[in-house]
Amino acid sequence: MDWLNNLSAGLVSGTIVSLVFYLLSGRQLAKEAARLRNLTTLIIRGMEEGGLVKFNRDASGEPIGLVFERHIGIGGGAALGGTATMAKNPPDGKR
C-alpha cells in the first residue's frame, strides 16, 4: 500500500504544479495579446492618418475591413525609326 500512497502524492503534486504554471502562462498570454492589440491599433491609426488606407469600422469603431483608395497607373511609350535601303548588288560585292 506504500506504492499507492506515493502514486497518489505524485499525482496530486503534479496536478498542482501544472495548474499553477497553466494559470501563470494564461495571464502572461492575455497581457501579451493586449499589448499586441494596442500596437496594431496604433499602426492602423498611423496608416489611416497618413492617407495610405481607409478602414471600414463597425458600430464600436473597431476596424472590420480595408478599403484601398490608391489608383496606380503605369504609362510609357517607345519609338523606333530608321531608313532602309536596298541594292541589287552591294557596293563591296559581298552578300
Q: What's the 3-state SS for the chain?
A: CHHHHHHHHHHHHHHHHHHHHHHHHHHHHHHHHHHHHHHHHHHHHHHHHCCCCEEEECCCCCEEEEECCCCCCCCCCCCCCCCCCCCCCCCCCCC
β-sheet bridge partners, residue 56: 65
Greatest mean pLDDT among 4-13, 42-51, 70-79, 84-93:
4-13
83, with CB counted inside 10 A (0-12, 13-18, 19+), is exposed
Single pTM value for the model: 0.50
Question: Which pLDDT does position 16 carry in this prediction?
Answer: 94
- pLDDT tens digit string along 19-78? 999 999 999 999 999 999 999 888 888 888 888 788 888 888 888 887 766 666 777 777
**For residue 95, pLDDT beyond 60:** no
